[in-house]
Structure 1
């Protein structure tokens, strides 16, 4: 009873801002779930399913993408005669030899292999340019479930249609050994910032009174449909003539929800402290500093239940000590979701207990794995150069790191009762031929790779169950008999209203009967 009263008081604090971020009543854990003693979540970056696993045997892959399904439309709704160039070039700045904008011109209106030896021959070890992966643009690209305007509303031209032969990647072999899910969608539309919130609270952050704040200039200008940015008068009419332009492609919705990248209010943050301010805080007067958030997270619920947990962040200590550098470790400040919440502010016991340094190259996380000292629930975020994000990281290095971590987990003293989920935060702007199910205002977004790894996994299986990022916290909720976050309740209600089933909790990939 005491725990429920405390939970109720937290709910009241957050409900005035984001009603669906609070929690509802607990439910009994299903039989067999208690066979899992350790849940490990590894969160990589920015790849659609088709981009890496479109040719995986038994999966709903590129062989199912008909020419009509892959054909991209221009901004006026007519088919493009060809793909535009990759604006600014296909490869990232500094890559040599480069694939230039001119070299990427005149591709057929279809998906193409970036690593085709007869084409660009750019292996997954080569860093390609970054692509827009933003809240409104993704909805415009999905185009009501047709996924036919990825090129039209991209800043990267043809690159959105690129994919790799993933069979050369180490995680391909992991997928063959365990389970790969081919119907797993990112929890929210847009980029890493919002999808990290989806992972830890199934909620959308809020900026109170943003129209009277330093963030006012970042409020987006949106059409009456509520899902499309207002196009600027000087925008190119055709995707063949250049990237689109908008009146205001901001970080905040017109009703002040933060949907594109904002910085944490606490260090480490890309925004330094205010002059003469607290060195542990980011400058609150910076337009991109998000005020501290008060929604309930899965971490709060685990703590209330007395379940041990931690967020391990690669290079966290290096970033705090001012030793972050590019290209290594390239710590990403907005990939640390708990650092946005008041419950984990500097000086709190919760921060000391749960926000941990994963070490450079994940060495501290690997040490806890090897020593059998992982808490009941662990989240691991690789440092920037190992996260596979376009523009600053390559696929091969990150994929090898994921496979190395899995190898350590398989040898851990805790392995016998472990569930590992390896997935990506979002699609990174890359096209996928499978449209997401229609649900609520926030998502889900496009399809992403996900691996379900465990001694209890149905080995060699392609799991076609409908999942999204919140499926991870659905399993954690069921396993530890936690209250259900209201964002999950809202998502399932929206799915039912659109004649779609609720998201699964990953157990279709597991045999918990033995």
Structure 2
């Protein structure tokens, strides 16, 4: 199957009114027998399996994925298969000033003594795909809304990490509105990191063979449980 969004895929499975995707020989059999393509496809489907990863963005796994059938998907690459220029120098600090180089967490060994430009980067040399580093962006609604920044998409680095310190009411009163708004954010460049097909061969192999939801978005901005239920 080609790359498509979730709603299109479910409709094509007969869960909504639309056309269906089926192998050409199955369509020929359906026409010869006078059966509808949708009913024939339903008879062939026993299970629908959806694979999703927790705490991973689409670009983190499929930012450089290129379909073999010539179709286009929305990720980090432009039509020529190069890193899209719209991502270069995009990320800004809370004051709205673009980073020259990405701020990096020195507590993660792979990023010590490293300088990376302000753009998405191949993260495998610093954190291998099998290296389960206990670090990821904060799962909070208002933090996520601030990262999106009214569609500018330029605060993901600035608001990625954060302090786990529990502050008293008096301490909060001493903070500026900007500090409170950003919830003591700690900038962290690895949120722009991506893996390639060589790093994640299984996932890319499955994506080539089946359907990849490149228009899939989390159901709610927040923690994991709500998204898993939805």
The TM-score, its normalising length taken from structure 2, stands at 0.59
Alignment match of 1:66 (pick from 73, 78, 84): 84
Query: What whole-Å deviation, never above 9, does each CA across 1:163-190 have from its counterpart, x for those lacking one?
Result: 1113442121111112212111111112
Match of 1:125 in 2: 130
Match of 2:119 in 1: 110
Distance 1:183 1:124 in 2: 24
Match of 1:136 in 2: 142
CA contact (8 A) 1:73 1:152 kept: yes
| Consecutive unaligned residues in structure 1, runs of 5 or more | 1-27, 90-97, 200-514
1:37: how far off? 4.5
- Change in 2 beyond 3 A, CA 1:127/1:38: closer
1:150 lines up with 2:182 in the alignment: no
The TM-score, its normalising length taken from structure 1, stands at 0.28
Alignment match of 1:191 (pick from 216, 223, 229): 223
Distance 2:222 2:155 in 1: 15
The DSSP-based 3-state class of the residue aligned with 2:48 is strand
Match of 2:204 in 1: 172
More strand by share: 1
| Consecutive unaligned residues in structure 2, runs of 5 or more | 1-14, 18-35, 67-71, 162-186
Distance 2:62 2:50 in 1: 20
- Change in 2 beyond 3 A, CA 1:56/1:43: closer
Over aligned residue pairs, what C-alpha RMSD do you find? 2.5
* Dislocated runs of 4+, deviation >6 Å: none
CA contact (8 A) 1:73 1:148 kept: yes
Distance 2:16 2:124 in 1: 46
CA contact (8 A) 1:69 1:148 kept: no
Match of 2:191 in 1: 160
Alignment match of 2:64 (pick from 44, 55, 66): 55
**1:475-514 matched pairs, under 5 angstroms:** none
Match of 1:19 in 2: none
1:138: how far off? 1.3
CA contact (8 A) 2:87 2:119 kept: no
The DSSP-based 3-state class of the residue aligned with 1:63 is coil
Query: What whole-Å deviation, never above 9, does each CA across 1:477-508 have from its counterpart, x for those lacking one?
Result: xxxxxxxxxxxxxxxxxxxxxxxxxxxxxxxx
Query: What whole-Å deviation, never above 9, does each CA across 1:10-62 have from its counterpart, x for those lacking one?
Result: xxxxxxxxxxxxxxxxxx96472744443344443121111111111142222
